[in-house]
Chains A and B, each alone.
Chain A
Amino acid sequence: MVAASEKAKRIEVADLRLSYGGREVVRGISFDVYANEILAIIGPAQSGKSSLLRALNRTLDFVPGAMVRGTIQIDGEDIARVRDVEALRRRVGMVAPLPVGLPLTVYDNVAFAPRMSGVRKRAEVDEIVERCLRRAALWDEVKDRLDLLGTRLSGGQQQRLTIARALSHDPEILCLDEFSIAIDPVTTMRIEDVLRELRSQLTILLVTNLTQQARRLSDRTMFLLEGEIIEIDRTDIVFSDKPANRMTYEYVHGVFG
């Protein structure tokens, strides 16, 4: 557990409301995320989990009709006022549910973000690619075929490739949106190990449909239902026999949802 003295606030969300063309999917939620914790976000489909992540790195900007009210602060800075949105997105790494290898080589997939932000020297890019692939536990499997197309890797490898890509721009926060949806249990366990290691350097937001994954990995768990926070607390409390809210108990124990 995170000691009280370490509880530096990394993300502060205040009365956040998200809507698509008038249909509200997140209904006034407030919560904080502390540095170097893993916060799991659980809840059934349509509860606003993915929209919340998209609001965090402002890729919601690309969705026509999306509206954001309330504030999200990252390290005390209101992200709605950020001028350099690309820099913000580099600070908030994002891993999508289905692994998307860009139609580039393994090397270029990881080198993409550094190159786009102006890293030109080959040696520097080489170093970033190797470091990120190692951190994503993929290096040993692909080091001899870095020029293979990313899309030719297996599903589990592609998902680790997307994690390596998300790490390549050196984020402080890593968001994972149901990363294990398309991969086998063994790879899932490997990635979970990776995340445990990354926790020392990063703050991790983990959206997951697998409540047991939240239980295994996270320090705290947030239960979202229909765009509202039902409960947010230490994971051992949320998964105990007596969480604060009866609905939480029913959800994590599979009574409904």
Chain B
Amino acid sequence: MTSLAENKKAGAKAGDVPALFARTDLGRRRERAERTAQAALSGMALLVIIPLALIIIYLIVEAWPLLSLDFLLESPRRGMREGGVWPALLGTVYLVLMSLAVAAPIGILAAVYLHEYADDSAFTRAVQLAVVNLAGVPSIVHALFGLGAFVVFAGIGRSILAASLTLAIMTLPVIIASTREALASVPRSFREACWNVGATRWQTIRHVVLPNSISGILTGVILQVSRAAGETAPVMFTGAVFYKAVRDGDLFAYGLLDQCMALSMHLFTVSTQVPDVPEALPYATAVVLLFTVLAVNAFAIALRVYLRSRKRW
């Protein structure tokens, strides 16, 4: 070890910076590695944004001639070659809301049971296994199951109800998983503090655990909207139709047991099944689908920020 004074002297002799602050080979190598790593990592991050930005820009540019409020609120005309997407947009909204109305309560309550009540028994392990495997089932298989179970066996027929139930089963495992994660984020010490003062399990959950995990739970549920809205196969088999006439802009055009149009299926139809469709029409449909989903996601983010701001630790 040389003292600072000696270093200075040595530095002065060499007519250089003080030895203490001089750059060494190791230092230079580390700096280079640091710069390389940062460049590589930020490059990867950029690569993630580029496709999304390109998709959005490309779709909007292609769809531009057709985009208008009328396109949203009108029914398709002339065998899908003109008009708008109102029945499909409305159908998608119905399907998504209905499926969440079924899947969210069941999923959340099941997750609360699994995380807060169940101990490690054969039964809970069986449920875990079922949840994991349900999440891995391809959507076309869900579609066939929905067709068999709801449409045919239960006798509901092809309808919004049957399609919603099929979508609900598809989104259920993810809702359960995300709810469990949200519950796990509440520290165990909070629960213990409640038990110690004689609160029951349910009181603890109701007054401390749920209020502090609700933001995570709701976000998980809402993010399933995009999945339910985007799936084509399950609704195609169980309730969505090629074309259905409804009044333009009518919010209550469908009943529970009616068949409906859906954006995802409509997009499939106009891009592959109908000849002589104006080029911008499929793109405009895609823009509507994409922005419906993005709007829901934005709502989820806003809700999360709001509930986080009320979080108390």
Contact = CB atoms under 8 A, between A and B. Distances in A.
Nearest to B206: A116
Interface string B197-210: 11110010001100
Interface stretch (A35-43, A82-90, A221-229): A82-90
Contact of A116 (B119, B189, B198, B313): B198
Interface string A92-105: 01101010111110
Nearest to B197: A113
B194 interface: yes
B125 to A, nearest CB: 13
A49 B313 CA distance: 29
B302 interface: no
Interface in B190-244: 190-200, 203, 207-208, 211-212
B199 A112 contact: yes
Contact of A100 (B189, B198, B199, B200): B189
Contacts of B212: 103
A136 interface: no
Nearest to A62: B195
Interface in A169-220: 169
A112 B198 CA distance: 10
A149 interface: yes
B208 A162 contact: no
Given A59-B192, A166-B197, 17 more contacts: A57-B196, A62-B191, A62-B192, A62-B195, A86-B198, A86-B200, A93-B197, A94-B196, A96-B196, A98-B189, A100-B190, A103-B190, A103-B211, A116-B200, A116-B203, A151-B312, A165-B197
A169 B212 CA distance: 24
Nearest to A175: B196
B196 A89 contact: yes
Range of interface residues on B (Cβ < 8 Å): 20 to 34
B192 A102 contact: no
Contacts of A94: 196-197
B194 A102 contact: yes
Contacts of B208: 102-104
Contacts of A100: 189-190, 192-193
A166 B192 CA distance: 12
Interface in A57-90: 57, 59, 62, 64, 86-90
27 contacts: A59-B195, A59-B196, A62-B191, A86-B198, A86-B199, A88-B198, A89-B197, A90-B197, A94-B197, A100-B193, A101-B313, A102-B190, A102-B208, A103-B312, A104-B208, A112-B194, A112-B199, A116-B197, A116-B199, A116-B203, A117-B198, A149-B312, A149-B313, A151-B313, A166-B196, A169-B197, A169-B198
Contacts of B192: 59, 62, 96, 100
B311 interface: yes
Nearest to B208: A102
A59 B197 CA distance: 10
B25 interface: no
B197 A103 contact: no
Contacts of A96: 189, 192-193, 196
Nearest to A109: B193
Contacts of A51: none
